[in-house]
Homo-oligomer: A and B are copies of this chain.
Amino acid sequence: MNSDLSYLQVRDIGEQGILERLQRFCPPEIIGDDAAVLAITAQESLVVTTDMLVDGVHFSDITTSPEDTGWRASAANLSDLAAMGAFPLGITVGLGLPGDLAVSWVERLYQGMTECLQKYNVPILGGDIVRSPITTLAITAFGQANPNFIIRRSTAQVGDAIIVTGIHGASRAGLELLLNPQICQNLESEEKAALIKAHQRPNPRLDVIPILQEIFTSPCPISISGMDSSDGLADAVLQICRASRVGAILEQSKIPLPSAFHKWLTPGQWLHPPQAWLNYALYGGEDFELVLCLPPPAALTLVQKLGAGASIIGTITPGLTVILHHENERIPDQALSLSQGFQHFS
């Protein structure tokens, strides 16, 4: 491999820099969403997404069992399909395995993958197994969508309500509990277990898609924009706004947090949650919830149908900034930026 330091190296420009340079090799119309869309017939589109996971970078036996690594890998890919409004058809699995890896590790990985997939009736359609010095997992998931009902990042409209499903920050908090088991002594063990489970066994929100389809078609078609919150809530809103050339205002108090966060804080603190918890919700990622932008009446219908499972957290605005607003006027508005999110290369 060429390691001449006089060359521009991958670490110099990072994942985003490489992606930008490779875009010229891809059809422009398929870039920029959680998954690619390919028209098959007038009624059917194929939706495809792929993820690479590398031992020590994306998973680790220290915090995650092989079963949970398998579950999370499946869930992440199914979540990308849900983010596009697609129903899953199947996945393929590529495995790079060191010779000294325990066979039981591989079986336990598959056990976890299928536990997640079976919940959504998704088959593993084969794959490839090769020798590699580092355990590597490449999952490609494909789904089917109605070409007229595909959720994209680039179609958010000024005035749309911003809805999130579920709660945010739980996965990151669960990871923190795994890394530092001594913290949060005042939480019940069930509360800790729920946060840890949110990290280890996240659920892709495929259950929301039929409900969205219903709203989409009745009484007349509306525009639904969105993506999943796999890289954090802030990232999702910022990506949607950038792709749609709009801005947003988010109400900090409306961001749904795990109830255990509440218990951990004194009542006085609850209105001003410590920055750490807000960071978990905004930047923690891996909650695999949906962030959707749709006209306010449709948004209200969705909230009615999902009950406590969805929250309107803000509004799409003109301009290009994403503002976090607090109902306490003494707390200044905060502009969010992508640079606060995770960087994959360092």
Contact = CB atoms under 8 A, between A and B. Distances in A.
Interface of A: 1-5, 7-13, 15, 17-19, 21-22, 25-27, 30-31, 35-36, 38, 40-41, 44, 46, 48-58, 61, 89-90, 92-107, 110-111, 113-114, 123-136, 138, 140, 142, 144, 344-345
B100 A10 contact: yes
| Chain A interface mostly | mixed
A38 B143 CA distance: 11
A336 to B, nearest CB: 24
A128 B105 CA distance: 24
B7 A102 contact: yes
A295 B10 CA distance: 53
Nearest to A125: B36
A2 B101 contact: yes
A93 B11 CA distance: 19
A64 to B, nearest CB: 12
A118 B21 CA distance: 19
Count chain B CB atoms within 10 A of each CB in A11, A38, A96, A125 and give the residue with the most.
A125
Contacts of A52: 94-96, 128-130, 132, 136, 138
Contacts of A125: 26-27, 30, 36, 38, 48
Given A1-B55, A133-B133, A102 B9 contact: yes
A136 B138 CA distance: 10
Contacts of A114: 25
B50 A92 contact: yes
B54 A96 contact: yes
